[in-house]
């Protein structure tokens, strides 16, 4: 299989030089059993690289398994990967084969490898070095012959420095590294992908395809696409269903693009620019809420101090606070303070946010975790912590 055939088979659109190089490297290492580590932001199509490698290797007729390490709860990931014996833990009613036993002589793709717990990393290193593993609850050593390809969208080197990822495992996985470019860096590929998605959705929904004017094409290219190809595809799907106009101008497109055009963090960012922790984000949310409330208080007091504005004040009070009209006697407010019952407990606010997100997504933890900006394993831990 050459590069052109690989792109056609796996639906890869684009002619960007970095993308072409990534596919070239994948095809070159495919006939070997060398471990490969794929780097790239979320939504760049990292899952295509291990498929290309597997289908061009001597293992192509054997099992291929893709595992999202970030989607499996920490307490069960060892069982998923290596299997368990009957009675190994509560709920282990039967013996179970893990992915490494099932995929013997085949290929395993470990996505989001940076989310793998340290204890599981030690087990994985043993597989890489000797092909040996032990099921959970067993003392018997088993052998497997599996090729491992891993991917990450985080800075693994920084994780190694912080003690969150084993250095020996990093170097063992990173025999060959492949970097996939972010969509915003792929220039003309953005419009090529847009046209492909527009054509696909037009056929699916039996409607004329969405088209762009010349100036709209430039607007499309200038947008940062923080969600990369996944975001672009969803955006085109939205246009294909909702928009009545099938030819969009630059002005029309700007009005439809998400307003937050901030770029996602780069793969190897400065340590001082690291993302906020969950706790810091919640503190920021609470601070902003309190700031907005204080602004609202100031407006209320200014209205009270002006004669003839009591009727307007009552209207505002009813529509915003959903309470009974404020008493007209402004003397009650001479200290210029309003007592508002609000819980600033971080525990309560965090629990409330998680409950709302789960309710919105009808209990689907994966979707809720994505909206909250945390991993599904972290959400699982929070649910246990809050007793939800």
Tokens of 25: 């490297």
Tokens of 286: 């609470």
Query: Predicted confidence band at 339 (pLDDT cuts at 50, 70, 90)?
Result: very low
For residue 251, the model assigns a pLDDT of: 93
Condensed to tens digits (0 to 9), the pLDDT of residues 258-315 reads 875 544 444 434 333 334 445 455 545 555 565 556 666 565 556 555 555 555 555 5
Condensed to tens digits (0 to 9), the pLDDT of residues 54-92 reads 999 999 999 999 999 988 988 889 999 999 888 877 777
Where along the chain do its domains lie? 3-181, 185-256, 278-333, 345-386
User: Is there a shared CATH topology between the 185-256 domain and the 345-386 domain?
Assistant: no
Residue with tokens 């006939």: 31
DSSP state string for 84-122: B-TTSSTT--S-B--HHHHTTTSEEEEETGGGS-HHHHH
Does this model's pTM top 0.85? My answer is: no
Give percent of the chain above pLDDT 70: 77
DSSP lists the bridge partners of residue 179 as 39
For residue 327, the model assigns a pLDDT of: 42
Give percent of the chain above pLDDT 90: 55
3-class DSSP assignment, residue 44:
coil
Condensed to tens digits (0 to 9), the pLDDT of residues 343-369 reads 545 566 777 778 887 888 778 888 877
Q: What is the mean pLDDT of the chain?
A: 81
Q: Which of 345, 204, 183, 371 minimizes the C-alpha distance to 279?
A: 345
Neighbours of 63 (CB within 10 A): 15
Domain 185-256: CATH class, spelled out: mainly alpha
Angle between helices 189-205 and 228-242 (to 10 degrees): 40
Q: Which of 18, 37, 33 minimizes the C-alpha distance to 175?
A: 37
Q: Which of 109, 147, 111 minimizes the C-alpha distance to 131?
A: 147
Condensed to tens digits (0 to 9), the pLDDT of residues 90-145 reads 777 888 899 999 999 999 999 999 999 999 999 999 999 999 999 998 889 999 99
Q: Which of 147, 37, 152, 141 minimizes the C-alpha distance to 99?
A: 147
Are residues 351 and 343 in contact, defined by beta-carbon separation less than 8 angstroms? no
Q: Which of 116-125, 169-178, 341-350, 375-384 has the lowest mean pLDDT?
A: 341-350
Whether 171 shows a pLDDT value over 90: the answer reads: yes
Strands 141-143 and 132-134: antiparallel
For residue 337, the model assigns a pLDDT of: 38
For residue 183, the model assigns a pLDDT of: 96
Sign of CA dihedral 134, 135, 136, 140: negative
Mean pLDDT score, 200-215: 93
Most distant CA atoms of the chain, gap in Å: 86
Measured in whole angstroms, the distance separating CA 27 from the mean position of its chain's CA atoms is 27
3-class DSSP assignment, residue 307:
coil
3-class DSSP assignment, residue 176:
strand
What values do phi and psi take at 119, rounded to 5? -65, -40
3-181 has CATH 3.40.50.300 classification: yes
Query: Predicted confidence band at 31 (pLDDT cuts at 50, 70, 90)?
Result: very high
For residue 194, the model assigns a pLDDT of: 96
The Cα–Cα gap between 180 and 187 comes to: 14
Neighbours of 363 (CB within 10 A): 9
Q: In sequence order, which residues have a C-beta less than 8 Å from that of residue 75 and are 6 or more positions away? A: none
Please give the sequence-ordered ranges of beta strands (E in DSSP) within the chain, or none if there are none.
Answer: 36-39, 64-68, 107-111, 132-134, 141-143, 147-152, 176-179, 211-212, 247-248
What values do phi and psi take at 134, rounded to 5? -130, 130
DSSP class of residue 71? G
Domain 345-386: CATH class, spelled out: mainly alpha
CA distances from 265 to 11, 226, 227, 375 (A): 27, 9, 11, 16
């Amino acid at each position: 299989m050459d590069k052109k055939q690989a792109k056609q088979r796996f639906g890869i659109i684009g002619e960007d030089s970095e993308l072409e190089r990534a596919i070239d490297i994948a095809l070159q290492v495919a006939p070997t059993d060398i471990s490969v580590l794929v780097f790239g932001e979320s939504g760049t199509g990292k899952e295509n690289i291990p498929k290309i490698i597997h289908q061009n290797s001597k293992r192509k007729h054997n099992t291929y398994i893709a595992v999202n390490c970030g989607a499996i709860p920490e307490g069960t990931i060892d069982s998923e990967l290596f299997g368990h014996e009957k009675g190994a833990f509560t709920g282990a009613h039967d013996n179970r084969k893990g992915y490494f036993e099932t995929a013997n002589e085949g290929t395993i793709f470990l996505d989001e490898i940076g989310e793998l717990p340290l204890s599981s990393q030690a087990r994985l290193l043993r597989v890489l070095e000797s092909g040996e593993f032990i099921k959970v609850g067993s003392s018997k050593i088993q052998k497997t012959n599996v090729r491992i390809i891993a991917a990450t969208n985080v800075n693994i080197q920084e994780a190694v420095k912080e003690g969150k990822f084993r250095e020996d495992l990093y170097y063992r996985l990173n025999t060959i590294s492949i970097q996939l470019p972010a969509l915003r860096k792929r220039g003309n590929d953005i419009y090529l992908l847009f046209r492909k998605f527009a054509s696909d959705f037009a056929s699916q929904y039996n409607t004329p395809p969405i088209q762009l004017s010349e100036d709209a094409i430039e607007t499309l290219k200038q947008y940062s696409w923080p969600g990369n190809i996944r975001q672009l595809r969803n955006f085109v799907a939205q246009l294909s269903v909702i928009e009545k106009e099938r030819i969009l101008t630059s002005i029309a497109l700007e009005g439809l693009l998400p307003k937050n055009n901030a770029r996602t963090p780069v793969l190897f960012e400065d340590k001082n620019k690291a993302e906020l922790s969950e706790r810091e984000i919640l503190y920021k949310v609470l601070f902003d809420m309190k700031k907005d409330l204080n602004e609202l208080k100031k407006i209320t007091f200014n209205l009270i101090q002006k004669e003839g504005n009591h009727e307007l004040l009552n209207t505002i009070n009813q529509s915003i606070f959903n309470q009974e009209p404020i008493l007209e006697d402004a003397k009650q407010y001479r200290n210029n303070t309003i007592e508002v019952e609000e819980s600033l407990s971080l525990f309560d606010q965090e629990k409330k946010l998680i409950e709302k997100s789960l309710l919105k997504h009808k209990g689907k933890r994966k979707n809720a975790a994505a909206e909250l900006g945390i991993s599904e394993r972290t959400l699982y831990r929070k649910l246990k912590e809050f007793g939800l």
